[in-house]
Amino acid sequence: MERRRIRGRKSEEGIALLISIFVLLLISVVAISLVVSSGTESALAGNYRSATGVYDAAMAGLEEVRARLRPNSPISFKNTDPLFLPAGTPLDPCSPVYVINPLGGETVAPWDPASTYPDTEFNQEFTGICPAGSLPPNPSPRAFSIWNTNPLNGLPFPGPSYKWVRINGVTEQSLKLDVVPYDGTWNDATPIYYDGTLNNNSSGSQVLEVTALAVLPNGSQKLVQYLVSSVPISLPPFPAAMTLAGSGQGNTVGYSAPASNAGFSIKGNDQDCNGGTLPGAFPAIGVFDSMDVGTVVDGGDVNGVHFTGIPTPPSSIRLSYTGTVTGTPPDVERVDSSFTASSMSTPSELDAAVQSIIQNADATVPSTGQTSFLTNLVSSGAMSSSSPLTVVVNGDLDLTGWHNTGYGLLLVTGTLTYDPDASWNGIVMVVGQGTVIGWRGGSGIFNGTMLVARTRDTSGNLISGSYLSYSYVDFNHGGSMGGQGIRYSSCWIQRSQPSAGYRVLSFHEISQ
């Protein structure tokens, strides 16, 4: 019995060793799997970071150029490189220009096929379209990225790692796309334009192709491309030197003229941007209808706009409102048909234009320090006669004590308190609360046009229905106001037209 027990014990010797070895093997397999999995995840994360980084760098190039194409941008090519893309000159599809972004002293010459970062994509798109030879032309016009200019080039960290951005026109042939007027083929070699649809009629703004190449230090590359075109903002018409837009029943507009300032006038006789006389004339004051309650003005041409000051002596005040009138001034005319024709005669229609301007403003004036903010725009050169801006005030604007000249489009959604020592060249829109108050002395002048309309109630809610509410201009607030008044200038109106920038019509990544 004892011998049998000893033999059984011997037969079990070594089983613990086998189990231990098996467990160790199992742990080793699990550990190796974890290491491999961790390495794979690290590689995937690294690849993702690299792919994201190079994509973001390429997009930074596209967005920089899109911002610099907008003329009113402080970093626009117009301001930084005026000869790079001359205003008003279409860009030849076969003559691309480049924005280069060399880092660390490297050479970036995409027009050179032997360079480190050649633009081979242009060759693929335009071979057979552009003349034989270097594609693109060698050399090509170039401008430096803002990351290569002061003050950004002095930052302690590098900018985005894109190498170049190409800008060129496009044709049916290069896009392989039939555009208006459709003929079933894409063989036209003329530049494409955009006026809501792509066309070859030179209608609207030229369509530009913007292509960016980014390369990271690890060799990752990305090529991305936009089709863009400038899209203007739809503005209401400006048919008079000062338009009081009001419609419906009752006193929908009001105007109180300076009672004793012989130097003040509102004139619809057209002027250029230097004050020179242009052919043609517009009403001094434009109104919507003749059904309002008030005094008869303009020999009965407009019956019932609520005016004070113009219809009373001295006669010199009446003679200060000239334009299209054929009889004795003052010149007050109906202009509602132009608003109806442009679908801008109701509160909602005018408000839509206002919201578009707000969304695309170059500068928004804060509620405090308003005159200091405007003064800084002028003194810094950001706003000037050669660089008019779209300036928005969401609420009231008080120009008391502001003795400068503004340029561009000024939109005020609340009350404009007008210091007549201030001047403005361009478009002044007081649309929202539709109230203008002028007082004090001064010698300023508005050259361009002024539009006053009430589209919102005192709580800021959009007025329902088809009729604009009561708006008024009081230039006799607490006494006669100074200043020289308002002069119609089609030149300044045109120069102050805002732009919504360059809209992206299409985007795609290009495989390499």
395 shares a domain with 280: yes
Pair 163, 301 in one domain: no
User: 3-class SS at 310?
Assistant: coil
335 and 265 together in one domain: yes
DSSP H/E element including 493: helix 490-495
Residue 361 lies in a domain: yes
Please write the tens of the pLDDT for every residue from 177-227. Answer: 999 999 999 988 899 999 889 999 988 889 999 999 999 999 999 999 999
Q: What is the pLDDT of residue 208?
A: 97
Enumerate the H helices of 172-265 as residue ranges: 172-175
Q: Which residue has the higher pLDDT, 12 or 56?
A: 56
Is there a domain that residue 405 lies in? yes
The tokens for 48 are: 């993702």
* Same domain, residue pair 449 and 325: yes
Kindly state whether residue 366 falls inside one of the protein's structural domains.
yes
**217 and 83 together in one domain:** yes
The span from the CA of 34 to the CA of 51, in Å, is 25
Query: Where is average pLDDT lowest: 255-264, 286-295, 444-453, 469-478?
Result: 286-295
3-state secondary structure 314-344: CHHHHCCEECCCCCCCCCEEECHHHHHHCCC
Q: What is the DSSP string of 434-480?
A: -EEEE-S----EEEEEEEEEE-B-TTSPBPPSS--B-EEEETTTTS-
Based on the fold, state whether residues 442 and 323 are members of the same structural domain.
Answer: yes
Decide if 21 is inside a domain: no
309 vs 63: which has the higher pLDDT: 63
Q: Specify the 3-state DSSP secondary structure of 30.
A: helix
Q: Is the distance from CB of 262 to CB of 103 less than 8 angstroms?
A: no
Considering the domain architecture, whether residues 424 and 277 belong to the same structural domain is answered as: yes
The answer to whether position 186 is within a domain reads yes
Type of residue found at 117: Y
Domain match, 308 and 371 both: yes
55 located within any domain: no
Place of tokens 């903010």: 373
Q: Are 374 and 402 in contact (CB under 8 A)?
A: yes
Q: Which phi and psi angles does 20 have, rounded to 5°?
A: -65, -45
CB neighbourhood size of 217 (10 A): 9
Mean of pLDDT over the chain: 86
Looking at the structure, do residues 223 and 263 belong to the same domain, yes or no?
no
Question: Residue 292 above 90 pLDDT?
Answer: no
Angle, CA of 49, 50 and 51, to the nearest 5°: 95
Give the pLDDT score at 469: 87
pLDDT above 70 (res 301): no
Paired tokens of 394: 């969401």
| Tens-digit pLDDT profile for residues 385-397 | 988 899 999 999 9
6 domain-assigned: no
72 pLDDT more than 90: no
Q: Tell me whether residue 457 is in a domain.
A: yes
Domain count, the chain: 2
Q: What is the pLDDT of residue 194?
A: 93
Question: What does the alpha-carbon distance between residue 35 and residue 28 come to, in Å, rounded to a whole number?
Answer: 10
What would the mean pLDDT of 422-440 be, rounded to a whole number?
94
Q: What is the domain extent for residue 267?
A: 242-495
For the chain, give the number of residues: 512
Q: Are residues 205 and 325 in the same domain?
A: no
DSSP secondary structure code for residue 14 in this structure:
T
pTM greater than the 0.75 cutoff: no
Better pLDDT: 295 or 144: 144
What is the band of 500 on the pLDDT scale with cuts at 50, 70, 90?
A: confident
Residue 24 host element (H or E):
helix 15-69
d(CA 142, CA 77): 11
- End-to-end Cα, the chain, rounded Å: 84
- Nearest of 239, 241, 322 to residue 288 by alpha carbon: 239
For residue 312 the two structure tokens come to 């009373």
In Å, what is the CA distance from 70 to each residue of 63, 164, 435?
A: 11, 19, 32
Same-domain pairing of 160 and 270: no
20-34, 65-79, 338-352, 375-389: which has the minimum mean pLDDT? 20-34
- Mean pLDDT within 402-413: 96
Mind listing the pLDDT tens digit for each residue in 134-156?
899 999 999 999 999 888 988 88
Same domain for 358 and 322?
Answer: yes
The predicted-structure confidence for 184-197, as pLDDT tens digits, reads as follows: 999 888 999 998 89
* Residue 418: burial class (beta carbons within 10 Å; 0-12, 13-18, 19+): buried
pLDDT of residue 50: 84
Percent of the chain with pLDDT over 70: 87
**pLDDT tens sequence across 93-137:** 999 999 999 988 899 999 999 999 999 999 999 998 998 888 999
